[in-house]
């Protein structure tokens, strides 16, 4: 991590007033981004504000184009603009599910932030930490509207980065006491149980069957790899009445009969869901009840009954990244973290 000797302080919008200030950009490595102390509470608030703007039609986000060099792998371009936050930029992100065989991360990539007035680049930063946090924040925002507020038991299927970030986010909003953690890798689930137990002070139990992380749980998160041909595991009757599930891995874990019994099936963006259906995903999902933005803005009610089964299948939006990245950039400038590069 480098600490530059001169690091210009910027306003919260990360926009500059003088063209002379825009002769360089700030590069932030993965360790830089993770070291800045941006909290999950701040991220949830930023994501919630973004959804309010989305509901009002005051954002710009085209469906993400992508290339697919390997089976079930992707490299996506994710541009977005949020005028109210004066934030414009793009994430270039990859997801390669077989990377674990090489001891490499599933997700990697970069975010470029641009000045919304001049178009000049302000920063280039690693996207891995932001992706983990904003994804969990979006699920947490959905849970505020779709889960029971007294939820005490969570089930986590997939004990990787997203399994960890989601539990941290949910722990800030709900009175969780017990967590059932499942992963096909026994060592991963035991490591998860041990580390999250120590970090959050919760009862975290590694379980050897996926149903044990679904039935009896108030909130369920499935966070495995995204697969076009799902290795469906969760069947009808597993999710209890009153249960809420956040699908981070599209519908990869869920049989059609399990989805069919859901009372409200929601998503973060209908247009992108339709786009992915055309690409061969989501062939057996129920009709969409509401977008997350509609519930945040009060345009559609969330949970209306204690016994409703509810699901959100959030696809991951560029808007979420571009809502959070300015927080990271501002904190880096304030703390003089990162490396300035000349344009």
The pLDDT of residue 182 is above 70: yes
Domain ranges of the chain: 19-130+319-342, 148-316
Exposure string for 246-257, b = 16+ CB within 10 A, e = fewer: bbbbbbbbbbee
Report for 1-15, 92-106, 143-157: range of highest mean pLDDT = 143-157
Q: Return the percentage of the chain with pLDDT > 70, whole number.
A: 94
Mean pLDDT along residues 303-330: 98
148-316, what's its fold? Rossmann fold (3.40.50)
**Whose structure tokens read 């371009």?**
77
pLDDT digits (tens, 9 = 90+) for 212-270: 999 999 999 999 888 877 778 999 999 999 999 999 999 889 999 999 999 999 999 99
pLDDT digits (tens, 9 = 90+) for 273-301: 998 898 888 888 999 999 999 999 999 99
pLDDT digits (tens, 9 = 90+) for 53-97: 999 999 999 988 899 999 889 999 999 999 999 999 999 999 999
The pLDDT of residue 11 is above 80: no
CA distance 82 to 132: 20
Angle between helices 128-146 and 318-335 (to 10 degrees): 120
Please answer whether residues 311 and 292 qualify as being in contact, where contact means their C-beta atoms are separated by less than 8 angstroms.
no
Dig out the tokens for 228 from the structure. Answer: 């076009």
Strand order in the sheet with 121-126: 66-67, 74-82, 87-95, 107-114, 121-126, 24-28, 339-342
pLDDT of res. 12: 37
Handedness of CA 253, 257, 260, 262 (dihedral sign): negative
pLDDT of res. 21: 63
Q: 148-316: same fold as 19-130+319-342?
A: no
Q: How many CA atoms lie within 13 A of 62 on its CB side?
A: 9
Q: What is the pTM of this model?
A: 0.91
- Choose which CATH entry (3.30.1780.10, 3.40.50.2300, 3.40.50.300, 3.20.130.10) describes domain 19-130+319-342: 3.30.1780.10
Q: Any residues with CB less than 8 A from the CB of 263 and at least 6 apart, and which? A: 305, 308, 309, 310
The pLDDT of residue 7 is above 60: no
Please answer whether residues 243 and 219 qualify as being in contact, where contact means their C-beta atoms are separated by less than 8 angstroms.
yes
Angle at 235 between CA 301 and CA 178, to 5 degrees: 70
């Amino acid at each position: 991590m480098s600490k530059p000797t001169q690091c210009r302080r910027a306003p919260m919008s990360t926009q500059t007033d003088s063209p002379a200030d825009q002769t360089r950009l700030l590069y932030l490595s993965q360790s830089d981004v993770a070291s800045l102390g941006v909290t999950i509470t701040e991220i949830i608030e930023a994501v919630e504000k973004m959804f309010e703007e989305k509901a009002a039609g005051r954002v710009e986000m085209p469906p993400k184009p992508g290339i697919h060099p390997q089976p079930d792998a992707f490299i996506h371009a994710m541009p977005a603009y949020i005028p109210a936050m004066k934030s414009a930029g793009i994430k270039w992100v990859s997801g390669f599910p077989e990377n674990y065989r090489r001891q490499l991360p599933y997700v990697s990539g970069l975010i470029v932030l641009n000045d919304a007035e001049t178009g000049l680049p302000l920063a280039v930063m690693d996207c891995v930490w932001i992706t983990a946090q904003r994804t969990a924040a979006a699920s947490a925002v959905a849970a505020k509207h779709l889960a029971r507020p007294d939820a005490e038991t969570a089930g986590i299927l997939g004990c990787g980065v997203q399994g960890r970030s989601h539990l941290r986010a949910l722990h800030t909003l709900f009175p969780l006491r017990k967590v059932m953690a499942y992963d096909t890798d026994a060592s991963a689930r035991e490591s998860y149980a041990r580390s999250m137990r120590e970090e959050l002070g919760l009862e975290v139990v590694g379980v050897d069957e996926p149903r044990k992380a679904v039935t009896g749980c108030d909130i369920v998160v499935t966070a495995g790899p995204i697969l076009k041909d799902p290795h469906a595991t969760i069947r009808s009757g597993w999710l209890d009445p009153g249960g809420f599930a956040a699908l981070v891995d599209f519908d990869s874990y869920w049989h059609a009969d399990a989805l069919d019994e859901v009372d409200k099936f929601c998503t973060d963006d209908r247009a992108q869901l339709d786009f992915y259906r055309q690409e061969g995903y989501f062939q057996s999902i129920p009709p969409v009840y509401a977008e997350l933005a509609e519930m945040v803005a009060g345009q559609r009610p969330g949970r209306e009954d204690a016994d409703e089964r509810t699901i959100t299948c959030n696809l991951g939006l560029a808007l979420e990244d571009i809502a959070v990245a300015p927080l990271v950039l501002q904190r880096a400038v304030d703390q003089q973290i990162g490396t300035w590069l000349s344009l």
